[in-house]
Every structure is written in C-alpha cells, then in structure tokens.
C-alpha cells in the first residue's frame, strides 16, 4: 500500500497516523488483530517499524488489520491474533485466544546474546546474573519460563532468520514444526532517495552515518571512538533510549566536533531517506542486530555498509558489506576505512531489493495466516 501510494503520487499515512487509525477504528470479525507491549511506541525502533510495515502491506493484499485496543476490542471478534515481540501482556492474550480457538501468530523479535548481555550490563553483578540466566536456558531449554510458555502457545512462530529460529529451539525448546522464517523488510522508496535534501542542511562533505537509538547495545560510543581515531566525520540521527541519558552525554563529549547530532525523525520523513543516500558509509557495529532495519534501508539507498557480524546479519548481507566486531575498536576502524575507500558493493542494493522488500515479507506472512485459518 505505501509503495503504491508513493508511486501514484498520493501521500501515504505516516506510521503514527496509521497506528492511530488502526487502534481506534471498530473491529469486525474478519480482522487480523495486532498486539505489541503497551510501551512499544514510547521509544520506537526496528521492531515497531516491522509491525507497521507488515500491517500496511498486508492491507495492500486485502487483509483487514486492527491494532489491539484493550478498552474496546474483544479477542473473540478477531480472525487471528498476531503478537509482535515477546511480553507477558502477549502471553495473557495468547492464553485467552487459545481458549477461544483463535489462531495465534508470534513474531518474537528476540535475540539473546551472552556476550552482549555481559558487555552492556550497567554493573558487574548484573552482567554475572545475565550470564547465569543464559547458561540455565542453554543447559535446560525446557525450564519453565513465561517466554517458553508464550512460544508453545503460538500456532505459528515467525522469526526473522534461521539463526533466530535455531536459538528459539535451543534456548526455549520451541517446536520446530511451528516455525516459519519470515525476514525483516525494507520499503522500495529508499532506492529512490535523493541526497540533496539532506545535503541542503548538512553540506556536501562525505560522512559516516548512524541511525538508531543512542544506547550501549548499539555500541554508539565504540563507533564514535573509531570515527574520531580515523578522523572521518560522523552523523548520528537518534535519541537516547530511556535510561541512557548519561551514555548519550558520554558519546557527545568524546565525539566533540567530529560528530553532528540530529534528533530522531519519523520513519517516513523524506529527510531520513535522503540522509542514507547522502552518506558515504553507514555504520552499525552493534553487539547484535536482527538484522538492523536501518542498515537494510541504507543498503537499498546505495550506501556502503559496516555492520556487526553478531546476530543474523550474515544471512541478510552475505559478502556485500564490511563486518566489524563491537569489542574490537581497530576492527571497526578498518571496516570503516575499507568501506570509505571502496564504496558500496555493486550487487548489494539489488540483493536487498530482490529478497527483502516489505511486499514480499507481507506475502510470506499472509501465507502463514492462510494455513492457520483455511
């Protein structure tokens, strides 16, 4: 729907407008009911974008999508319940749906990385506790937890990668027969992005770009340090995640005048797409990504990519990008240096467009729906 509206010259609904409309309109018995945790849009990121884009493109295929409103909606009236993200709220809804024989689909958007849990912990004891929890899950995946119960309550589980699917089975004992890998996606509008809108504000000098939350998991501080050591300008677009104002201040202090900071903008803002097109390198040396929607968008906008190898990034980007481990500052520097020198891989944008457009993602999601409600 959104790509077709752009192509025809019509203005599509923004993500916030779409969400407002889909949460307040009346639900009928033919609706696909979407749910995400109640705090989900207080600090939106890739998971929220996944929900909105999936919904918009499912509507383009003829499905009626409704965002769950706990004050008005009854699960009994839904055709199917689709949960985005793993939460206790979602578990309660899944229990109710199962009792009412409403099919449940779960997009877990889940990655548990022992090294990241330790490295991003706010203090040593928390890091040790995180490692202990991970070790228990790895040793006894059948250990009863609310996440395991949620996975077992879902009729279909839609991880974003084969790696995520394997982890859900290994750590939680998820049923392999319930798993259908559905990748994350990207809008085709990024392929047509014009760099001039961003350059009119920033200037014509080349730069490294980061887009996302300012938080330890994204390793923004490591990226700031690497860019500063290389002497290349960095542009960062995003707001600090809740609770990480001190981390944001540290990034700004260390970056000095080598970093230009912009606040987060709406995902459909043409200025954001223009920033991707104007950047020489897009860098995301996070502790893990699944796979990093901003990196997919930058790749489709013909930008050279530096990204973490942790998570499921290799399934998406293959050999078309430079990989850099988050704990290796020199590795990040070298990856940026290579990407800066060599430019984008000539086959990257075509690879992303062939495999990961939202229209294809929605079609695969709809196939799973059809199997459950046939």
Q: What is the pLDDT of residues 191-239, one digit of tens each?
A: 999 999 999 999 999 999 999 999 999 999 999 999 999 999 999 999 9
Structural domain span for residue 272: 190-355
Is the confidence at residue 2, as pLDDT, over 50?
A: no
Is the confidence at residue 5, as pLDDT, over 50?
A: no
pLDDT band at 112 (very low <50, low <70, confident <90, very high): confident
CATH at residue 121: 3.40.50.2000
Residues 217, 337 within the same domain: yes
Residues 229, 345 within the same domain: yes
Residues 279, 366 within the same domain: no
Residues 70, 132 within the same domain: yes
Task: Give the number of domains in the chain.
Answer: 2
Residues 216, 256 within the same domain: yes
pLDDT at residue 8, as a whole number = 31
Residues 261, 361 within the same domain: no
pLDDT at residue 10, as a whole number = 36
Residues 7, 31 within the same domain: yes
Residues 197, 173 within the same domain: no
Return the number of other C-beta atoms located less than 10 Å from residue 96's C-beta: 15
Per-residue burial over 16-49, b = 16 or more CB atoms within 10 Å of its CB, e = otherwise: eebbeebeeeebeeebbbbbbbeebeebbbbbbb
186: β partners: 357
Residues 151, 75 within the same domain: yes
Q: Is the pTM of this model over 0.75?
A: yes
Q: What is the pLDDT of residues 247-257, one digit of tens each?
A: 999 999 999 99
Q: What is the pLDDT of residues 254-279, one digit of tens each?
A: 999 999 999 999 988 999 999 999 99
Backbone φ and ψ of 112, nearest 5°:
-115, 115
């Amino acid at each position: 729907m959104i790509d077709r509206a752009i192509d025809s010259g019509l203005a599509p609904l923004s993500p916030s407008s779409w969400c407002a409309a889909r949460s307040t309109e009346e639900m009928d018995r033919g609706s696909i009911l979407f749910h995400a945790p109640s705090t989900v849009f207080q600090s939106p990121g890739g998971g929220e974008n996944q929900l909105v884009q999936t919904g918009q493109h499912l509507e383009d295929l003829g499905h009626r999508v409704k965002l769950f409103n706990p004050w008005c909606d009854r699960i009994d009236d839904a055709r199917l319940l689709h949960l985005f993200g793993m939460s206790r709220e979602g578990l309660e809804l899944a229990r109710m749906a199962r009792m009412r024989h409403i099919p449940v689909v779960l997009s877990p958007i889940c990655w548990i990385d022992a090294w990241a849990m330790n490295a991003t912990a706010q203090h040593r004891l928390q890091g040790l506790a995180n490692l202990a929890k991970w070790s228990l899950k790895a040793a006894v995946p059948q250990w009863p937890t609310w996440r395991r119960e949620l996975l077992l309550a879902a009729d279909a589980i839609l991880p974003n990668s084969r790696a995520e699917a394997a982890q859900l089975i290994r750590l939680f004992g998820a049923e392999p027969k319930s798993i259908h890998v559905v990748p994350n996606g990207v809008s085709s509008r990024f392929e047509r992005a014009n760099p001039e809108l961003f350059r009119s504000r920033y200037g014509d000098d080349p730069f490294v770009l980061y887009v996302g939350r300012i938080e330890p998991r994204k390793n923004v501080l490591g990226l700031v340090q690497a860019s500063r050591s290389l002497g290349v300008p960095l542009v960062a677009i995003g707001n600090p995640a809740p609770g990480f104002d001190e981390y944001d201040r540290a990034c700004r202090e260390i970056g000095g005048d080598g970093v230009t900071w912009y606040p987060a903008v709406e995902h459909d803002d043409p200025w954001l797409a223009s920033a991707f097109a104007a950047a020489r390198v897009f860098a995301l040396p996070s502790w893990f990504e699944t796979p990093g929607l901003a990196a997919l968008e930058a790749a489709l906008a013909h930008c050279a990519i530096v990204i973490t190898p942790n998570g499921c990034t290799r399934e998406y980007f293959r050999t078309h990008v430079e990989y850099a481990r988050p704990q290796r500052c020199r590795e990040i520097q070298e990856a940026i240096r290579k990407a800066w020198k060599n430019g984008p891989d000539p086959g990257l944008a075509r690879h992303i467009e062939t495999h990961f457009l939202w229209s294809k993602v929605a079609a695969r999601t709809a196939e799973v729906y059809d199997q459950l409600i046939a």
